[in-house]
Amino acid sequence: MFRQFHTVLAIVGLVVAMFVTSCAPDVNFEPTATPDIEVEEPESIETPDLPEPDEDLTGHIVNVIAVWAGGELQAFREMVRPWEERTGATMSYEGTRDINAVLTERVEANNPPDIAGLPGPGQMRTFAEAGELVDLSTFIDMEQFEQNYTDTWIELATLENGLYGVFSKASIKSLIWYSPPAFDEAGYEIPETWDEMLALSEQMMNDGNTPWCIGLESGAASGWPGTDWIEDIMLRTAGPEMYDAWWQHEISWTSDEVRHAWELWGEIVTNEEMVYGGTTGVLANDFGASVYPLLEEPPGCYMHRQATFISGFIQEGFPDAVAGEDYDFFQFPPVDEEHGAPMMVAGDLFGMFNDTPASRSLIQWLISAEAQQIGVELGGYVATNEQVPSTAYPSPTLAQAAGLMIEAETVRFDASDLMPSAVNNAFWDGILRYVENPGELDQVLQNIEQVAEETYD
């Protein structure tokens, strides 16, 4: 049932490489009404063992900084545990939601971590161009690496002179989560367009229900879930070419295309009756826990836009909930018919600041199929290493996400993750300011534009 995941990553490789190189048209696929994926088991492929380090790593410590906490952190620790047992080395983990600021401060103080979970390719490029990141191609078996990974993940982490990051897992975005039993009981139907989704939201409010759960709180990274909304809307209103021009700052943040996306989102997020807890709740609710009211009885809300990884939070909060039965998703619907329903993806990116034998060993472990199989078995993610066996995927919802990916005529990487960190931070802050004061949209966009003008070459 899950062989198509490997096809998905190959497709993403084609379409994401398109905007990296800016020289190829969108790849079109014949859509079907509902994903119905018949899968044959792939041939068994033996993956190489973890390369033996040049020296005994017993007692060595690798410092890792990333944003994960709770279930995400537990999954990462489970992924690393076999490496610790085999090498005798230990991972020392530091979690922070203020990853941009912490990394910048540590680097400036000449005290970087050994390895960091980078916010995205944008910040990776900044550190690499400053000479702070290690070229991973100096020790990774690139021939084997290129066999196991599609061009997508390699190109996004490559500069002209080397490979400066590796993606250990992928997340499929452009999804809206709901409870099928709650929809059935209330007589609601899955919307197929933006207008239908707004009409459904109005119907829910008329029934005395709250349509949406949205949570923007994420510590120093608060606001980022709102950027995903803007990106999905931009893809569906301005189209993929304008989307690419936007994150590359070839159009202004004050342009009509960008402003329109914010205004459309505002129809939902700034309506006090449409969001759980009102705008105060949107600003205060933790992004991971904000999905929980969806599964409460009675439901606190009926829809929640988030990526595949949110299923891990659902499992943490509602361990007895069954994916595909108690909760499921539908694709973020089209807004303008001409642009259809593009799919947005993202991934967890690691960079190495200190070139040590233990750091090299851990990076090689994280990109292995064995390590990634541990991660995907815990749910919520798609492996980036294509040699992860199909049987590793535990949830039918991931198969559904893969089907939607195959249907998509256009796939794009998360735009904010491709922007320089200063612009990304301004984007986050702008999201919060807009929700708090919708009448200040002009100033919000002008502020982000000013940061962009100062940041881009």
pTM given for the model:
0.79
State how far the Cα of 382 lies from the Cα of 134, in Å rounded to an integer. 26
- Asked if the peptide bond before residue 113 counts as cis, ω within 30 degrees of 0, the response is no
State how far the Cα of 296 lies from the Cα of 318, in Å rounded to an integer. 9
> What's the confidence (pLDDT) of residue 46?
46
29 and 51 housed in the same domain: yes
> What's the confidence (pLDDT) of residue 404?
66
184 and 139 housed in the same domain: no
Total domains, the chain: 2
pLDDT band at 399 (very low <50, low <70, confident <90, very high): low
Tell me, what CATH number does 315's domain have?
Answer: 3.40.190.10
375 and 269 housed in the same domain: no
Dihedral over Cα of 417, 421, 427, 433: its sign: positive
Summarised one tens digit per residue, pLDDT across range 222-250 is 999 999 999 999 999 999 999 999 999 99
pLDDT band at 129 (very low <50, low <70, confident <90, very high): very high
163 and 203 housed in the same domain: no
> What's the confidence (pLDDT) of residue 37?
33
pLDDT band at 383 (very low <50, low <70, confident <90, very high): confident
Least confident span in 112-116, 160-164, 254-258: 160-164
145 and 245 housed in the same domain: no
> What's the confidence (pLDDT) of residue 405?
62
**Which residue range forms the structural domain that includes residue 187?**
175-341+420-455
Is the separation of the CB atoms in 169 and 285 below 8 Å?
no
The answer, yes or no, to whether residue 387 has pLDDT greater than 60, is: yes
Least confident span in 36-45, 189-198, 360-369, 428-437: 36-45
Mean pLDDT of 292-298: 97
304 and 392 housed in the same domain: no
State how far the Cα of 5 lies from the Cα of 406, in Å rounded to an integer. 9
Summarised one tens digit per residue, pLDDT across range 16-53 is 443 333 333 333 322 223 333 333 333 333 444 566 66
103 and 218 housed in the same domain: no
The answer, yes or no, to whether residue 70 has pLDDT greater than 60, is: yes
167 and 193 housed in the same domain: no
Residues in the chain: 457
Summarised one tens digit per residue, pLDDT across range 316-351 is 999 999 999 999 999 999 999 999 999 998 989 999
State how far the Cα of 169 lies from the Cα of 68, in Å rounded to an integer. 14
Residues 6+ away with beta carbon under 8 Å from 145: 154, 367
State how far the Cα of 231 lies from the Cα of 241, in Å rounded to an integer. 13
Mean pLDDT of 352-378: 95
List the one residue out of 201, 239, 258 whose CA is nearest residue 342.
Answer: 239
State how far the Cα of 344 lies from the Cα of 273, in Å rounded to an integer. 28
Helix (H, G, I), strand (E, B) or coil at 50: coil
11 and 104 housed in the same domain: yes
296 and 402 housed in the same domain: no
Query: Of residues 377 and 194, which shows the higher confidence score?
Result: 194
Output the average pLDDT for the chain: 87
Question: In this prediction, what percent of the chain has a pLDDT beyond 70?
Answer: 86
> What's the confidence (pLDDT) of residue 173?
93
87 and 160 housed in the same domain: yes
184 and 332 housed in the same domain: yes
